[in-house]
């Protein structure tokens, strides 16, 4: 008797203009295709055209009727990867990603997660609700110990949780286009972002920004703390800089503002958008140091063996540094002064060879742990 091809629905932030989200989906789908070449895959997306060649059925995020229909006929529903179980972006964000899981559980469709990032969840009522929903999942694969701890704190049984890794740690694409030209000094890659240091409201922060409901300048305060660091690298070490955007216009705007404030002039190369995942990875791998607020800049730097300063604006950034055994490279950028930030980066620079040596074994261990994501999907499918 023939076995039906597995039908898989991925609930994630696919098709966005964020390189980290693109990397996660690419690695996740590739792992599924290698395990199940005939699998039928649907995925929720903000832009169906961006994932049309990757999955069989893009489902626009607003098409909840179509999503429910595909869940009913699925063999497994996968939540993530990525850091989507959080209310830091907005309340709506958390509700959107967990409601389909709640529906899958009610429809008796196995629900698992794939290298999921959990937290922060600021509101107590959302913590309780999240705990109840996720306790009904078949298996929860999280990307770090911080996510595991948070799930324990909201009542999810440890028997359901497995710490794996972010799928991006296994990304191996290589670019074929020209590299960013550099001089004789150290090469420093920079990946910053804007950020508001408060929990999101009901609607996503990005919507509030686009509607003019927040002051954009205040979002750059954390990134601007890096100005003395960049001046020290330029003046004392004669460093050259490549500013690598991980999210379209937002990152480019911050990069231009910070480079101008640091008076870097021709020492700074702003990598134009769109930038491919492979090119971003190559630039990071060929650098002597990465200064990363963007989580996936730190992940791709580690995968390429490049020491990094994890400029932690969110627990997920520190959690990754700790997962590769270099917690000393994490700097809580919102809590330190500019002088303390400069001192911390100088120490990371001085210890960069030790950091680089530690990354090789640690990333190999994480890459092995990451296989637990697809193993969990296979277990849910029973084949």
Report the CATH number at residue 330.
3.40.50.2000
CA angle 97, 100, 106 (to 5 degrees): 140
pLDDT band, residue 195 (cuts 50/70/90): confident
- Residue ending a domain, among 148, 163, 178, is 163
Could you tell me which residues come within 8 angstroms of residue 24 by beta carbon, excluding any fewer than 6 positions away?
12, 80, 81, 82, 115, 166, 167, 168
pLDDT band, residue 182 (cuts 50/70/90): low
φ, ψ for residue 311, nearest 5 deg: -85, 90
pLDDT band, residue 11 (cuts 50/70/90): very high
pLDDT band, residue 201 (cuts 50/70/90): low
Residue 235, Cβ density class (10 Å: 0-12 exposed, 13-18 middle, ≥19 buried): exposed
pLDDT(284) > 50: yes
Give me 346's structure tokens: 């100088």
Q: Are residues 104 and 253 in the same domain?
A: no
Q: Are residues 135 and 269 in the same domain?
A: no
Residue 150, Cβ density class (10 Å: 0-12 exposed, 13-18 middle, ≥19 buried): buried
Q: Where are the alpha helices (DSSP H) in the chain?
A: 19-35, 48-51, 64-72, 91-106, 124-135, 145-153, 205-210, 216-219, 221-224, 227-237, 248-261, 277-285, 295-303, 315-323, 338-350, 352-381
Name the maximum alpha-carbon separation found in the chain. Answer: 71
| Average pLDDT taken over every residue of the chain | 92
Q: Are residues 112 and 212 in the same domain?
A: no
The answer to whether position 234 is within a domain reads yes
Per-residue pLDDT at 89? 86
Q: Looking at the 3D structure of the chain, how many domains does it have?
A: 2
Q: Are residues 213 and 331 in the same domain?
A: yes
The answer to whether position 326 is within a domain reads yes
Distance CA 70, CA 53 (A): 19
pLDDT(217) > 70: no
- Total residues found in the chain within this entry: 383
The answer to whether position 278 is within a domain reads yes
Task: Give the helix/strand (H/E) hosting 78.
Answer: strand 76-79
Give me 264's structure tokens: 């870097």
pLDDT(360) > 80: yes
Q: Are residues 139 and 286 in the same domain?
A: no
Cα radius of gyration rounded to whole Å, the chain: 21
Could you tell me which residues come within 8 angstroms of residue 100 by beta carbon, excluding any fewer than 6 positions away?
9, 11, 44, 67, 68, 71, 77
pLDDT band, residue 178 (cuts 50/70/90): very low
pLDDT(1) > 90: no
**CB 292, CB 308: distance < 8 Å:** yes
Per-residue pLDDT at 177? 58
pLDDT, tens digit (0-9, with 9 covering 90-100), for 321-338: 999 999 999 999 999 999
Q: Are residues 207 and 293 in the same domain?
A: yes
Please state, for a pLDDT cut of 70, what percent of the chain lies above it.
90
**CB 284, CB 306: distance < 8 Å:** yes
Q: Are residues 56 and 112 in the same domain?
A: yes
Q: Are residues 127 and 198 in the same domain?
A: no
Q: Kindly report each contact of residues 2-7 with a partner whose C-beta sits within 8 Å and lies 24 or more positions away, as own/partner.
A: 3/383, 5/36, 5/38, 5/39, 5/40, 6/36, 6/38, 6/39, 6/40, 6/75, 6/76, 6/381, 6/383, 7/39, 7/40, 7/42, 7/70, 7/73, 7/74, 7/75
Please state, for a pLDDT cut of 90, what percent of the chain lies above it.
84
pLDDT(251) > 80: yes
pLDDT, tens digit (0-9, with 9 covering 90-100), for 112-168: 999 999 999 999 999 999 999 999 999 999 999 999 999 999 999 999 999 999 999
pLDDT(206) > 80: no
Per-residue pLDDT at 184? 75
Q: Are residues 15 and 154 in the same domain?
A: yes
pLDDT band, residue 197 (cuts 50/70/90): low
Mean pLDDT on 77-102: 94
Q: Are residues 224 and 148 in the same domain?
A: no
pLDDT band, residue 90 (cuts 50/70/90): confident
| Total-model pTM | 0.93
Q: Which residue has the tokens 């799928």?
A: 167
Q: Are residues 136 and 269 in the same domain?
A: no
pLDDT(341) > 90: yes
Per-residue pLDDT at 278? 94
Per-residue pLDDT at 215? 46
The answer to whether position 26 is within a domain reads yes
Query: Domain residues for 158?
Result: 7-163
The answer to whether position 351 is within a domain reads yes
Query: Where is average pLDDT lowest: 2-6, 239-243, 354-358?
Result: 2-6
Q: Are residues 25 and 150 in the same domain?
A: yes
């Amino acid at each position: 008797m023939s076995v039906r091809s597995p039908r898989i629905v991925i609930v994630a932030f696919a098709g966005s203009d964020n390189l980290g989200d693109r990397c996660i989906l690419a690695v996740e789908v590739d792992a599924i295709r290698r395990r199940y070449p005939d699998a039928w895959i649907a995925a929720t997306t903000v832009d169906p055209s961006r994932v049309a060649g990757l999955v069989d059925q893009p489902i626009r995020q607003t098409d909840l009727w179509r999503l429910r229909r595909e869940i009913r006929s699925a063999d497994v529903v996968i939540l993530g990867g990525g850091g989507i179980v959080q209310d830091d972006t907005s309340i709506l964000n958390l509700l959107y990603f967990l409601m389909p899981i709640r529906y899958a559980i009610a429809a008796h469709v196995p629900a698992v997660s794939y290298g999921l990032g959990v937290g922060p969840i600021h509101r107590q009522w959302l913590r309780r609700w999240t705990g109840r929903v996720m306790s009904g999942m078949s298996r929860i694969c999280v990307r770090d110990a911080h996510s595991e701890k948070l799930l324990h704190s909201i009542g999810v049984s440890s028997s359901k949780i497995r710490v794996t890794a972010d799928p991006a740690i296994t990304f191996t694409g290589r670019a074929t286009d020209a590299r960013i030209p550099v001089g004789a000094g150290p090469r420093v890659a920079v990946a910053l972002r804007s950020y508001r240091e408060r929990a999101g409201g009901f609607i996503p922060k990005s919507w509030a920004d686009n509607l003019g409901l927040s002051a954009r300048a205040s979002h750059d305060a954390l990134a601007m703390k890096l100005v003395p660091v960049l001046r020290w690298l330029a003046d004392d070490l004669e460093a050259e800089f490549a500013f690598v955007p991980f999210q379209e216009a937002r990152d480019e705007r911050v990069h231009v503002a910070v480079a101008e404030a640091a008076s870097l002039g021709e020492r700074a190369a702003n990598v134009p958008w769109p930038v491919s995942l492979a090119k971003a990875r190559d630039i990071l791998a060929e650098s002597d140091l990465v200064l990363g607020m963007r989580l996936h800049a730190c992940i791709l730097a580690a995968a390429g063996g490049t020491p990094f300063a994890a400029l932690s604006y969110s627990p997920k950034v520190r959690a990754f540094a700790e997962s590769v055994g270099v917690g000393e490279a994490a700097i809580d950028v919102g809590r330190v002064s500019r002088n303390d930030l400069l001192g911390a980066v100088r120490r990371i620079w001085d210890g960069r060879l030790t950091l680089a040596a530690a990354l090789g074994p640690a990333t190999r261990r994480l890459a092995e742990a990451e296989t637990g994501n697809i193993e969990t999907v296979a277990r849910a499918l029973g084949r």
